[in-house]
Structure 1
Amino acid sequence: MGGLTREGHQGTGPGAITPDGCAVELYRRLPAGAEPDIIEAAAPAGASLLELGSGTGRMTHPLVERGFAVTAVDESAEMLEHVRGARRTVRSPIESLELGEKFDVVVLASHLVHTGDDRVREGLLRTCRRHVKDDGCVLIQREPRDAHTGLPKERVDPAGYTVRFVSSEPLGDGTHSLHIEYAFPDARWTQTFRSRPLSTEDFEAHLWAAGLAVDAYLTDEGTCVRARPSVPGAVASGGNGG
Protein backbone atom coordinates (compact mmCIF):
# COMPACT_ATOMS: atom_id res chain seq x y z
CA MET A 1 0.00 0.00 0.00
CA GLY A 2 0.98 3.62 -0.19
CA GLY A 3 -0.45 7.08 0.39
CA LEU A 4 -0.15 8.11 4.03
CA THR A 5 3.42 8.38 5.27
CA ARG A 6 4.17 5.67 7.83
CA GLU A 7 6.78 6.49 10.46
CA GLY A 8 9.91 4.39 10.05
CA HIS A 9 9.00 3.23 6.53
CA GLN A 10 11.21 4.00 3.53
CA GLY A 11 12.45 2.47 0.32
CA THR A 12 15.06 2.94 -2.41
CA GLY A 13 15.42 1.79 -5.99
CA PRO A 14 14.28 2.55 -9.54
CA GLY A 15 10.82 3.98 -10.17
CA ALA A 16 8.11 5.32 -7.91
CA ILE A 17 8.36 4.64 -4.18
CA THR A 18 5.14 4.93 -2.18
CA PRO A 19 5.24 6.86 1.14
CA ASP A 20 5.38 3.62 3.12
CA GLY A 21 8.52 2.47 1.28
CA CYS A 22 7.03 0.13 -1.34
CA ALA A 23 8.58 0.28 -4.82
CA VAL A 24 5.93 0.04 -7.53
CA GLU A 25 8.21 -1.59 -10.11
CA LEU A 26 9.45 -4.13 -7.55
CA TYR A 27 5.91 -5.17 -6.70
CA ARG A 28 5.13 -5.50 -10.40
CA ARG A 29 7.96 -8.02 -10.67
CA LEU A 30 7.32 -10.10 -7.55
CA PRO A 31 5.53 -13.41 -8.25
CA ALA A 32 2.32 -14.32 -6.45
CA GLY A 33 3.82 -17.41 -4.85
CA ALA A 34 1.58 -19.98 -3.15
CA GLU A 35 -0.92 -17.51 -1.66
CA PRO A 36 -3.53 -17.65 -4.47
CA ASP A 37 -3.59 -21.46 -4.23
CA ILE A 38 -4.06 -21.26 -0.45
CA ILE A 39 -6.87 -18.72 -0.84
CA GLU A 40 -8.58 -20.80 -3.52
CA ALA A 41 -8.52 -23.88 -1.27
CA ALA A 42 -9.87 -21.95 1.75
CA ALA A 43 -12.64 -19.93 0.07
CA PRO A 44 -15.88 -20.83 -1.74
CA ALA A 45 -15.59 -21.02 -5.51
CA GLY A 46 -16.54 -17.79 -7.25
CA ALA A 47 -16.76 -15.87 -3.96
CA SER A 48 -16.88 -12.11 -3.70
CA LEU A 49 -13.46 -11.14 -2.34
CA LEU A 50 -12.14 -7.94 -0.79
CA GLU A 51 -8.35 -7.71 -1.12
CA LEU A 52 -6.89 -5.22 1.36
CA GLY A 53 -3.50 -3.92 0.24
CA SER A 54 -3.58 -5.20 -3.33
CA GLY A 55 -0.51 -3.33 -4.54
CA THR A 56 -0.03 -3.76 -8.28
CA GLY A 57 -2.22 -6.86 -8.44
CA ARG A 58 0.36 -9.53 -7.60
CA MET A 59 -2.40 -11.69 -6.09
CA THR A 60 -5.38 -9.91 -7.66
CA HIS A 61 -4.65 -11.19 -11.13
CA PRO A 62 -4.38 -14.91 -10.30
CA LEU A 63 -7.44 -14.64 -8.02
CA VAL A 64 -9.46 -13.11 -10.87
CA GLU A 65 -8.23 -15.92 -13.15
CA ARG A 66 -9.55 -18.41 -10.57
CA GLY A 67 -13.03 -16.91 -10.81
CA PHE A 68 -13.15 -14.67 -7.74
CA ALA A 69 -14.95 -11.31 -7.97
CA VAL A 70 -12.19 -9.15 -6.51
CA THR A 71 -12.48 -5.64 -5.09
CA ALA A 72 -8.89 -4.38 -4.78
CA VAL A 73 -8.02 -1.72 -2.18
CA ASP A 74 -4.74 0.15 -1.84
CA GLU A 75 -3.60 3.57 -0.64
CA SER A 76 -1.39 4.09 -3.70
CA ALA A 77 -2.81 5.31 -7.01
CA GLU A 78 0.49 4.28 -8.66
CA MET A 79 -0.02 0.72 -7.48
CA LEU A 80 -3.68 0.53 -8.49
CA GLU A 81 -2.88 1.72 -12.04
CA HIS A 82 -1.48 -1.76 -12.70
CA VAL A 83 -4.44 -3.78 -11.40
CA ARG A 84 -6.38 -5.51 -14.17
CA GLY A 85 -9.61 -7.49 -14.15
CA ALA A 86 -10.83 -6.53 -10.69
CA ARG A 87 -14.53 -5.92 -10.22
CA ARG A 88 -13.56 -2.62 -8.64
CA THR A 89 -10.47 -0.77 -7.42
CA VAL A 90 -10.60 1.57 -4.42
CA ARG A 91 -7.92 3.99 -3.29
CA SER A 92 -8.13 4.26 0.50
CA PRO A 93 -6.22 3.62 3.70
CA ILE A 94 -7.34 0.18 4.86
CA GLU A 95 -8.02 1.18 8.45
CA SER A 96 -10.57 3.85 7.46
CA LEU A 97 -12.25 1.94 4.61
CA GLU A 98 -16.06 2.14 4.58
CA LEU A 99 -17.55 0.49 1.47
CA GLY A 100 -21.01 -0.20 2.90
CA GLU A 101 -20.76 -3.70 1.44
CA LYS A 102 -19.99 -7.14 2.82
CA PHE A 103 -17.99 -9.88 1.11
CA ASP A 104 -17.75 -13.65 1.24
CA VAL A 105 -13.99 -13.37 1.78
CA VAL A 106 -11.71 -10.60 3.04
CA VAL A 107 -7.95 -10.96 2.50
CA LEU A 108 -5.36 -9.16 4.64
CA ALA A 109 -2.00 -10.34 3.29
CA SER A 110 1.56 -8.95 3.19
CA HIS A 111 2.02 -9.35 6.97
CA LEU A 112 0.00 -6.15 7.51
CA VAL A 113 -1.36 -7.52 10.79
CA HIS A 114 2.18 -7.09 12.17
CA THR A 115 2.16 -3.31 11.79
CA GLY A 116 4.14 -1.59 14.54
CA ASP A 117 1.24 0.73 15.36
CA ASP A 118 -1.33 -0.98 17.58
CA ARG A 119 -4.05 1.50 16.61
CA VAL A 120 -3.50 0.77 12.94
CA ARG A 121 -3.69 -2.98 13.61
CA GLU A 122 -6.98 -2.50 15.43
CA GLY A 123 -8.26 -0.48 12.47
CA LEU A 124 -7.15 -3.10 9.94
CA LEU A 125 -8.93 -5.91 11.77
CA ARG A 126 -12.07 -3.87 12.35
CA THR A 127 -12.16 -3.16 8.62
CA CYS A 128 -11.96 -6.90 8.00
CA ARG A 129 -14.86 -7.58 10.38
CA ARG A 130 -16.90 -4.66 9.05
CA HIS A 131 -16.71 -5.96 5.48
CA VAL A 132 -17.08 -9.73 5.91
CA LYS A 133 -20.44 -11.49 5.81
CA ASP A 134 -21.53 -13.25 8.99
CA ASP A 135 -21.04 -16.60 7.26
CA GLY A 136 -17.89 -15.47 5.44
CA CYS A 137 -14.21 -15.67 6.32
CA VAL A 138 -11.15 -13.47 6.69
CA LEU A 139 -7.81 -14.78 5.40
CA ILE A 140 -4.78 -13.28 7.13
CA GLN A 141 -1.07 -13.69 6.41
CA ARG A 142 1.30 -13.72 9.40
CA GLU A 143 5.07 -13.43 9.57
CA PRO A 144 7.11 -16.64 9.68
CA ARG A 145 8.29 -17.58 13.17
CA ASP A 146 11.92 -16.81 12.24
CA ALA A 147 11.23 -13.42 10.64
CA HIS A 148 13.40 -11.57 13.17
CA THR A 149 16.04 -14.21 13.98
CA GLY A 150 19.15 -15.58 12.34
CA LEU A 151 19.79 -12.43 10.31
CA PRO A 152 21.32 -11.65 7.92
CA LYS A 153 20.05 -14.39 5.63
CA GLU A 154 18.95 -14.62 2.04
CA ARG A 155 16.70 -16.61 -0.25
CA VAL A 156 17.11 -17.11 -3.99
CA ASP A 157 13.69 -17.17 -5.62
CA PRO A 158 13.03 -19.53 -8.56
CA ALA A 159 11.96 -16.42 -10.52
CA GLY A 160 15.61 -15.34 -10.59
CA TYR A 161 16.03 -12.72 -7.89
CA THR A 162 17.51 -12.74 -4.38
CA VAL A 163 15.80 -11.53 -1.21
CA ARG A 164 18.18 -10.55 1.61
CA PHE A 165 16.81 -10.13 5.10
CA VAL A 166 19.52 -7.79 6.29
CA SER A 167 18.57 -6.76 9.82
CA SER A 168 15.84 -6.55 12.44
CA GLU A 169 16.61 -3.87 14.99
CA PRO A 170 14.56 -3.75 18.21
CA LEU A 171 13.20 -0.25 18.84
CA GLY A 172 12.50 -0.74 22.54
CA ASP A 173 8.70 -0.67 22.37
CA GLY A 174 8.12 -4.21 21.15
CA THR A 175 8.55 -3.28 17.49
CA HIS A 176 11.45 -3.95 15.16
CA SER A 177 12.83 -2.06 12.19
CA LEU A 178 13.20 -4.60 9.38
CA HIS A 179 15.53 -3.93 6.45
CA ILE A 180 15.18 -6.06 3.30
CA GLU A 181 16.97 -5.98 -0.06
CA TYR A 182 15.70 -7.33 -3.38
CA ALA A 183 18.40 -7.97 -5.96
CA PHE A 184 17.45 -8.62 -9.60
CA PRO A 185 19.96 -9.06 -12.44
CA ASP A 186 19.20 -5.53 -13.65
CA ALA A 187 17.99 -3.64 -10.55
CA ARG A 188 18.08 -3.47 -6.77
CA TRP A 189 15.52 -2.23 -4.25
CA THR A 190 15.53 -1.86 -0.48
CA GLN A 191 12.65 -1.57 1.94
CA THR A 192 12.69 -0.61 5.62
CA PHE A 193 9.55 -0.88 7.73
CA ARG A 194 8.36 -1.40 11.28
CA SER A 195 6.97 -4.72 12.43
CA ARG A 196 5.68 -6.04 15.74
CA PRO A 197 6.23 -9.75 16.38
CA LEU A 198 3.03 -11.40 17.62
CA SER A 199 2.80 -14.65 19.53
CA THR A 200 -0.07 -16.93 18.61
CA GLU A 201 -1.83 -15.89 21.81
CA ASP A 202 -1.40 -12.17 21.07
CA PHE A 203 -2.51 -12.62 17.47
CA GLU A 204 -5.67 -14.47 18.46
CA ALA A 205 -6.43 -11.90 21.17
CA HIS A 206 -6.23 -9.06 18.63
CA LEU A 207 -8.62 -10.94 16.34
CA TRP A 208 -11.06 -11.59 19.18
CA ALA A 209 -11.08 -7.89 20.13
CA ALA A 210 -12.12 -7.09 16.56
CA GLY A 211 -14.95 -9.64 16.54
CA LEU A 212 -13.05 -12.44 14.80
CA ALA A 213 -11.92 -15.91 15.84
CA VAL A 214 -9.43 -18.32 14.28
CA ASP A 215 -11.14 -21.09 12.34
CA ALA A 216 -8.02 -22.81 10.99
CA TYR A 217 -4.30 -22.41 10.46
CA LEU A 218 -3.92 -23.19 6.77
CA THR A 219 -0.17 -23.84 6.58
CA ASP A 220 2.12 -25.99 8.72
CA GLU A 221 4.09 -22.94 9.85
CA GLY A 222 0.91 -21.07 10.76
CA THR A 223 1.54 -18.13 8.43
CA CYS A 224 -1.84 -18.27 6.69
CA VAL A 225 -4.94 -18.16 8.87
CA ARG A 226 -8.67 -18.38 8.25
CA ALA A 227 -10.81 -16.46 10.75
CA ARG A 228 -14.57 -16.12 11.02
CA PRO A 229 -16.87 -13.64 12.77
CA SER A 230 -17.01 -14.53 16.46
CA VAL A 231 -20.35 -12.79 17.02
CA PRO A 232 -22.75 -13.01 14.04
CA GLY A 233 -24.39 -9.69 13.29
CA ALA A 234 -21.79 -7.65 15.16
CA VAL A 235 -20.02 -4.82 13.38
CA ALA A 236 -16.65 -3.84 14.80
CA SER A 237 -16.43 -0.13 15.45
CA GLY A 238 -14.53 2.35 17.54
CA GLY A 239 -12.57 4.49 15.12
CA ASN A 240 -10.31 3.99 12.13
CA GLY A 241 -7.16 3.24 14.08
CA GLY A 242 -5.07 5.83 12.25
Structure 2
Amino acid sequence: MTGLLREGFGATGPGAVTPDGCAVELYERLPAGDQPAVIAAAVPAGARILELGCGAGRMTHPLVDLGFDVTAVDESAEMLAKVHGARTVHSSIQTLDLGTRFDVVLLASFLVHAHDPRVRHELLASCRRHVADGGCVLLQREGQGWHENLPRESPLGSDGVARVLSSEPAGPGVRSVHVEYVYPDARWTQTFLSRPLTAEEFESALTAAGLAADATLTPDGVWVRALPV
Protein backbone atom coordinates (compact mmCIF):
# COMPACT_ATOMS: atom_id res chain seq x y z
CA MET A 1 0.00 0.00 0.00
CA THR A 2 1.29 3.46 -0.92
CA GLY A 3 0.17 6.99 -0.17
CA LEU A 4 0.74 9.72 2.41
CA LEU A 5 -2.27 9.88 4.72
CA ARG A 6 -3.64 13.03 6.30
CA GLU A 7 -3.69 13.27 10.07
CA GLY A 8 -6.67 11.41 11.49
CA PHE A 9 -7.08 9.22 8.39
CA GLY A 10 -5.95 5.62 7.98
CA ALA A 11 -6.14 2.61 5.69
CA THR A 12 -5.10 -1.01 5.39
CA GLY A 13 -5.28 -3.37 2.44
CA PRO A 14 -3.72 -3.87 -0.97
CA GLY A 15 -2.82 -1.18 -3.48
CA ALA A 16 -2.43 2.57 -3.57
CA VAL A 17 -4.48 4.82 -1.31
CA THR A 18 -5.42 8.50 -1.44
CA PRO A 19 -4.54 10.96 1.34
CA ASP A 20 -7.97 10.42 2.93
CA GLY A 21 -7.55 6.64 3.03
CA CYS A 22 -9.50 5.57 -0.06
CA ALA A 23 -7.98 2.48 -1.67
CA VAL A 24 -7.91 2.73 -5.46
CA GLU A 25 -8.43 -0.98 -6.06
CA LEU A 26 -11.37 -1.02 -3.64
CA TYR A 27 -13.03 2.00 -5.23
CA GLU A 28 -12.79 0.31 -8.63
CA ARG A 29 -14.98 -2.46 -7.20
CA LEU A 30 -17.57 -0.49 -5.26
CA PRO A 31 -21.00 -0.59 -6.94
CA ALA A 32 -22.87 2.63 -7.70
CA GLY A 33 -26.22 1.13 -6.76
CA ASP A 34 -29.21 3.31 -7.60
CA GLN A 35 -27.35 6.59 -7.15
CA PRO A 36 -26.89 7.34 -10.89
CA ALA A 37 -30.65 6.88 -11.34
CA VAL A 38 -31.32 9.33 -8.49
CA ILE A 39 -29.07 11.88 -10.18
CA ALA A 40 -30.57 11.31 -13.63
CA ALA A 41 -34.09 11.82 -12.31
CA ALA A 42 -33.15 15.18 -10.76
CA VAL A 43 -31.46 16.88 -13.73
CA PRO A 44 -32.14 17.50 -17.45
CA ALA A 45 -31.26 14.74 -19.90
CA GLY A 46 -27.82 15.18 -21.40
CA ALA A 47 -26.80 17.81 -18.84
CA ARG A 48 -23.19 18.88 -18.44
CA ILE A 49 -22.11 17.48 -15.08
CA LEU A 50 -19.06 18.46 -13.05
CA GLU A 51 -18.31 15.58 -10.69
CA LEU A 52 -16.15 16.68 -7.76
CA GLY A 53 -14.21 13.88 -6.09
CA CYS A 54 -14.95 11.27 -8.75
CA GLY A 55 -12.60 8.60 -7.40
CA ALA A 56 -12.17 5.67 -9.77
CA GLY A 57 -15.35 6.48 -11.70
CA ARG A 58 -17.91 4.59 -9.62
CA MET A 59 -20.63 7.06 -10.66
CA THR A 60 -18.82 8.66 -13.58
CA HIS A 61 -19.12 5.61 -15.79
CA PRO A 62 -22.86 4.96 -15.34
CA LEU A 63 -23.58 8.69 -15.77
CA VAL A 64 -21.64 8.68 -19.06
CA ASP A 65 -23.57 5.57 -20.11
CA LEU A 66 -26.81 7.47 -19.36
CA GLY A 67 -25.80 10.14 -21.90
CA PHE A 68 -24.43 12.86 -19.62
CA ASP A 69 -21.39 14.98 -20.52
CA VAL A 70 -19.20 14.49 -17.45
CA THR A 71 -16.10 16.33 -16.31
CA ALA A 72 -14.55 14.30 -13.50
CA VAL A 73 -12.25 15.91 -10.90
CA ASP A 74 -10.08 14.21 -8.32
CA GLU A 75 -6.89 14.99 -6.41
CA SER A 76 -5.60 11.44 -6.94
CA ALA A 77 -3.85 10.70 -10.22
CA GLU A 78 -4.16 6.97 -9.46
CA MET A 79 -7.93 7.29 -9.17
CA LEU A 80 -8.24 9.38 -12.34
CA ALA A 81 -6.27 6.80 -14.32
CA LYS A 82 -9.23 4.42 -13.84
CA VAL A 83 -11.78 6.85 -15.31
CA HIS A 84 -12.82 6.55 -18.95
CA GLY A 85 -15.38 8.23 -21.17
CA ALA A 86 -15.21 11.57 -19.35
CA ARG A 87 -12.94 14.59 -19.34
CA THR A 88 -10.67 14.29 -16.31
CA VAL A 89 -9.06 17.04 -14.25
CA HIS A 90 -6.35 16.38 -11.66
CA SER A 91 -6.98 18.96 -8.94
CA SER A 92 -8.13 19.47 -5.41
CA ILE A 93 -11.76 20.53 -5.22
CA GLN A 94 -11.00 23.56 -3.06
CA THR A 95 -8.57 25.18 -5.51
CA LEU A 96 -10.41 24.19 -8.68
CA ASP A 97 -11.34 27.03 -11.03
CA LEU A 98 -12.12 25.80 -14.53
CA GLY A 99 -13.34 29.17 -15.77
CA THR A 100 -16.60 27.65 -16.96
CA ARG A 101 -19.88 26.64 -15.38
CA PHE A 102 -21.97 23.50 -15.57
CA ASP A 103 -25.63 22.53 -15.55
CA VAL A 104 -24.99 20.23 -12.60
CA VAL A 105 -22.27 20.09 -9.97
CA LEU A 106 -22.08 16.81 -8.04
CA LEU A 107 -20.56 16.54 -4.55
CA ALA A 108 -21.07 12.96 -3.37
CA SER A 109 -19.34 10.57 -0.95
CA PHE A 110 -20.32 12.60 2.14
CA LEU A 111 -17.64 15.19 1.29
CA VAL A 112 -19.90 17.89 2.72
CA HIS A 113 -19.12 16.36 6.12
CA ALA A 114 -15.48 17.47 6.03
CA HIS A 115 -14.25 17.63 9.60
CA ASP A 116 -12.77 21.11 9.13
CA PRO A 117 -15.54 23.71 8.60
CA ARG A 118 -13.17 25.81 6.49
CA VAL A 119 -12.67 22.91 4.11
CA ARG A 120 -16.43 22.32 3.94
CA HIS A 121 -16.96 25.97 3.01
CA GLU A 122 -14.26 25.76 0.32
CA LEU A 123 -15.88 22.63 -1.14
CA LEU A 124 -19.28 24.31 -1.30
CA ALA A 125 -17.74 27.51 -2.66
CA SER A 126 -16.25 25.48 -5.50
CA CYS A 127 -19.71 24.03 -6.19
CA ARG A 128 -21.15 27.54 -6.33
CA ARG A 129 -18.29 28.82 -8.49
CA HIS A 130 -18.91 26.18 -11.12
CA VAL A 131 -22.72 25.93 -11.25
CA ALA A 132 -24.50 27.81 -14.04
CA ASP A 133 -27.36 30.20 -13.47
CA GLY A 134 -30.42 27.97 -13.60
CA GLY A 135 -28.29 24.92 -12.77
CA CYS A 136 -28.14 22.87 -9.59
CA VAL A 137 -25.79 21.26 -7.11
CA LEU A 138 -26.46 17.69 -5.96
CA LEU A 139 -25.06 16.74 -2.56
CA GLN A 140 -24.86 13.46 -0.70
CA ARG A 141 -25.03 13.79 3.09
CA GLU A 142 -25.12 11.35 5.97
CA GLY A 143 -28.53 9.99 6.86
CA GLN A 144 -30.15 10.55 10.22
CA GLY A 145 -28.51 8.40 12.90
CA TRP A 146 -25.67 7.39 10.56
CA HIS A 147 -23.19 7.37 13.47
CA GLU A 148 -25.49 5.33 15.73
CA ASN A 149 -26.44 1.66 16.17
CA LEU A 150 -23.03 0.34 15.14
CA PRO A 151 -21.63 -1.94 13.90
CA ARG A 152 -23.78 -1.89 10.74
CA GLU A 153 -23.22 -3.67 7.46
CA SER A 154 -24.48 -3.51 3.89
CA PRO A 155 -23.83 -5.65 0.81
CA LEU A 156 -21.40 -4.62 -1.93
CA GLY A 157 -22.78 -6.20 -5.05
CA SER A 158 -23.05 -9.98 -4.98
CA ASP A 159 -19.83 -10.90 -3.18
CA GLY A 160 -18.74 -8.09 -0.86
CA VAL A 161 -19.81 -6.46 2.37
CA ALA A 162 -19.15 -3.05 3.95
CA ARG A 163 -19.21 -2.69 7.72
CA VAL A 164 -19.25 0.58 9.62
CA LEU A 165 -17.55 -0.71 12.74
CA SER A 166 -17.33 2.34 14.97
CA SER A 167 -17.75 6.10 15.25
CA GLU A 168 -15.92 7.67 18.15
CA PRO A 169 -15.51 11.29 19.33
CA ALA A 170 -12.32 12.84 17.90
CA GLY A 171 -12.69 16.48 18.93
CA PRO A 172 -15.48 19.03 19.28
CA GLY A 173 -18.20 18.03 16.82
CA VAL A 174 -15.92 15.55 15.00
CA ARG A 175 -16.17 11.76 14.79
CA SER A 176 -13.53 9.19 13.85
CA VAL A 177 -15.22 6.52 11.73
CA HIS A 178 -13.76 3.07 11.09
CA VAL A 179 -15.07 1.01 8.15
CA GLU A 180 -14.06 -2.32 6.66
CA TYR A 181 -14.75 -3.70 3.19
CA VAL A 182 -14.53 -7.45 2.72
CA TYR A 183 -14.45 -9.43 -0.52
CA PRO A 184 -13.59 -13.12 -0.95
CA ASP A 185 -10.08 -12.23 -2.15
CA ALA A 186 -9.27 -9.01 -0.28
CA ARG A 187 -10.03 -6.87 2.76
CA TRP A 188 -9.60 -3.13 3.24
CA THR A 189 -10.17 -0.81 6.18
CA GLN A 190 -10.55 2.94 6.21
CA THR A 191 -10.53 5.40 9.08
CA PHE A 192 -11.70 8.94 8.40
CA LEU A 193 -12.93 12.05 10.18
CA SER A 194 -16.49 13.30 9.81
CA ARG A 195 -18.42 16.26 11.17
CA PRO A 196 -22.13 15.37 11.51
CA LEU A 197 -24.46 18.21 10.56
CA THR A 198 -27.94 18.96 11.82
CA ALA A 199 -30.47 20.07 9.23
CA GLU A 200 -29.98 23.65 10.40
CA GLU A 201 -26.17 23.41 10.16
CA PHE A 202 -26.41 21.90 6.68
CA GLU A 203 -28.69 24.67 5.45
CA SER A 204 -26.51 27.32 7.08
CA ALA A 205 -23.44 25.93 5.31
CA LEU A 206 -25.27 26.10 1.98
CA THR A 207 -26.36 29.67 2.64
CA ALA A 208 -22.81 30.75 3.47
CA ALA A 209 -21.69 29.44 0.07
CA GLY A 210 -24.50 31.12 -1.89
CA LEU A 211 -26.69 28.03 -2.24
CA ALA A 212 -30.15 27.06 -1.01
CA ALA A 213 -31.69 23.61 -0.62
CA ASP A 214 -34.39 23.01 -3.21
CA ALA A 215 -35.47 19.39 -2.83
CA THR A 216 -34.73 16.15 -1.02
CA LEU A 217 -34.24 13.49 -3.67
CA THR A 218 -34.41 10.28 -1.62
CA PRO A 219 -36.74 9.17 1.18
CA ASP A 220 -33.82 8.89 3.62
CA GLY A 221 -32.82 12.51 2.97
CA VAL A 222 -29.30 11.53 1.89
CA TRP A 223 -29.44 13.20 -1.53
CA VAL A 224 -30.30 16.90 -1.72
CA ARG A 225 -30.58 19.31 -4.62
CA ALA A 226 -29.47 22.90 -4.05
CA LEU A 227 -29.79 25.95 -6.26
CA PRO A 228 -27.54 29.00 -6.62
CA VAL A 229 -28.87 32.19 -5.05
TM-score (norm 2): 0.96
Amino acid paired to 1:182: Y
**What are structure 2's unaligned runs of at least 5 residues?**
none
2:55 aligned residue? 55
1:95 aligned residue? 94
Amino acid paired to 1:69: D
- Greater Cα offset, 142-151 or 176-185: 142-151
1:201 Cα shift? 0.8
Say whether 1:25 aligns with 2:55: no
For residues 206-221 of structure 1, the aligned pairs below 5 Å read 206-221=205-220
1:160 Cα shift? 1.6
1:82 aligned residue? 82
* Matched-pair contact (CA < 8 Å) for 2:49–2:105: yes
* Matched-pair contact (CA < 8 Å) for 1:4–1:93: no
Distance 1:226 1:75, change over 3 A: same
2:110 aligned residue? 111
Alignment partner of 1:49: what SS? strand
Alignment partner of 1:121: what SS? helix
2:172 aligned residue? 173
Alignment partner of 2:166: what SS? strand
1:156 Cα shift? 2.8
1:229 aligned residue? 228
Alignment partner of 1:194: what SS? strand
* Matched-pair contact (CA < 8 Å) for 2:136–2:228: yes
1:67 aligned residue? 67
Alpha-carbon RMSD: 1.2
Distance 1:18 1:98 in 2: 22
Amino acid paired to 2:21: G
Query: CA offsets, 1:107-154, max 9 Å, x none?
Result: 000000001011110000000000000100000000121211011122
* Matched-pair contact (CA < 8 Å) for 1:153–1:165: yes
TM-score (norm 1): 0.91
* Matched-pair contact (CA < 8 Å) for 2:36–2:59: yes
1:71 Cα shift? 0.3
Distance 1:5 1:113 in 2: 19
- Greater Cα offset, 187-196 or 157-166: 157-166
Amino acid paired to 2:38: I
Runs of 4+ in 1 over 4 A off after TM superposition: none
1:162 Cα shift? 1.1
1:56 Cα shift? 0.5
Say whether 1:143 aligns with 2:145: no
Amino acid paired to 1:207: L
1:157 Cα shift? 3.4
Amino acid paired to 1:156: P
Alignment partner of 1:96: what SS? coil
Query: CA offsets, 1:144-190, max 9 Å, x none?
Result: 21211011122233432111111101123100000000000110000
2:36 aligned residue? 36
